[in-house]
């Protein structure tokens, strides 16, 4: 017997020059239990054939000006687009390679746990001999974990760790914390997950829902990303007040990566880890710059 499609589940994907990815994304969703008519795309003025591909496949989409893009605003837009037609919304970025099985497993995980506000899957990298490969291993372990407010003293900032590269939200939980913040340009997943935890919802890491996410950054891009992260936490001091600082986790990550480099006897990887860690530290500790929220 063929299982009925989940008409109460939507999928949102922000795109920018994603023409080569649209077909792959559509095929994976088509084979899942989420109907393809429940895909919604917000495109940032792509200059390739993204819009043509979306039109050809009949995928619902709108356009946002690049100058107006923010990670919080586009996801709030997606929640409002679906309105009361769905109970869950999946967030995916265009560079994540997922399967029908990973979608189904992610959604079933949140459906089975009524106290979960957001659930995120396990991301792996296939780029061995890179810092990213071991970053993913550290942040996305083999075993699932249900994280609650009562675990803050044990987990600290890891309590709210989540990733909108591949996640699913319960709409009622999102409404409970006021939807995504439209004035937060970056780290909207951190913002909402922290709010959910403090409101009594749980964050569920579903290690059985596995996707591939290869996204290697150059040192300049990495520097800018960590400047954004520093700016975000500077403007959202309530997160540190409630959960503590990220420094301890950062140190554990670097130690883990260096151990892996020594195990692999890879000088190249060891040097890359040292440089990458230095770039992150410098970017994060430099004097604060302009506010990270829209004015």
CA pair distance 85, 102, nearest whole angstrom: 23
Model's pTM, two decimal places?
0.93
Q: Which residues of 284-295 are buried (b: 16+ CB within 10 A; e: fewer)?
A: beeeeeeebbee
Of 130, 152, 125, 127, give the one whose Cα is nearest residue 140: 125
Question: Does domain 9-216 match CATH 3.40.50.2000?
Answer: no
Burial of 55 (0-12, 13-18, 19+ CB in 10 A): exposed
Domain range list for the chain: 9-216
User: Given this model, what pLDDT does residue 137 score?
Assistant: 95
- Rounded-to-integer distance, Cα 266 and Cα 230, Å: 31
| Per-residue pLDDT tens over the stretch 35-94 | 999 999 999 999 999 999 999 999 999 999 999 999 999 999 999 999 999 999 999 999
C-alpha closest to that of 189 among 203, 200, 171: 203
Contact 96, 211 (CB under 8 A): yes
Average pLDDT of the chain to the nearest whole number: 93
For the segment 145-152, the average pLDDT, to the nearest whole number, is: 98
Residue 159: DSSP 8-state: G
246 close to 281: Cβ distance less than 8 angstroms: no
- 225-275 pLDDT, tens digit each: 889 889 999 999 999 999 998 888 888 999 999 999 999 899 999 999 999
pLDDT tens digits, one per residue of 103-124: 999 999 999 999 999 999 999 9
DSSP per-residue letters across 134-158: HHHHHHS-SS-EEE-GGGHHHHGGG
- Other C-beta atoms closer than 10 Å to the C-beta of 247 total 12
**289 — pLDDT class (breaks 50, 70, 90):** low
């Amino acid at each position: 017997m063929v299982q009925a499609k989940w008409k109460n589940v939507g999928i949102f994907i922000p795109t920018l020059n994603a023409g080569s990815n649209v077909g792959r994304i559509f095929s994976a969703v088509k084979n899942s239990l989420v109907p393809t008519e429940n895909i919604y795309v917000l495109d940032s003025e792509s200059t390739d054939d993204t819009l043509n591909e979306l039109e050809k496949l009949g995928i619902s989409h709108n356009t946002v000006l690049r100058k107006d893009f923010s990670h919080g605003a586009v996801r709030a837009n997606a929640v409002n687009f679906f309105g009361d037609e769905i109970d869950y919304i999946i967030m995916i970025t265009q560079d994540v390679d997922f399967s029908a099985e990973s979608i189904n497993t992610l959604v079933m995980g949140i459906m089975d746990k009524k106290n979960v506000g957001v659930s995120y899957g396990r991301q792996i990298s296939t780029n061995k001999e890179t810092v990213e490969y071991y970053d993913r291993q550290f942040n996305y372990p083999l075993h699932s974990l249900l994280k609650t407010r009562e675990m803050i003293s044990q987990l600290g900032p890891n309590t709210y760790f989540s990733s909108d590269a591949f996640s699913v939200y319960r709409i009622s939980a999102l409404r409970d914390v006021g939807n995504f913040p439209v004035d937060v340009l970056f780290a909207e997943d951190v913002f909402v997950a922290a709010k959910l935890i403090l409101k009594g919802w749980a964050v569920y890491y579903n290690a059985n829902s596995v996707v591939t996410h290869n996204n290697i950054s150059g040192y300049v891009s990495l520097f800018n990303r960590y400047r954004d992260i520093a700016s975000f936490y500077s403007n959202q001091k309530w997160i540190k007040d409630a959960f503590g600082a990220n420094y301890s986790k950062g140190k554990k990550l670097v130690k883990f990566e260096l151990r892996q480099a020594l195990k692999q006897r890879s000088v190249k990887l060891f040097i890359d880890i040292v440089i990458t860690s230095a770039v992150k530290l410098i970017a994060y500790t430099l004097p604060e710059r302009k506010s990270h929220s829209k004015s």
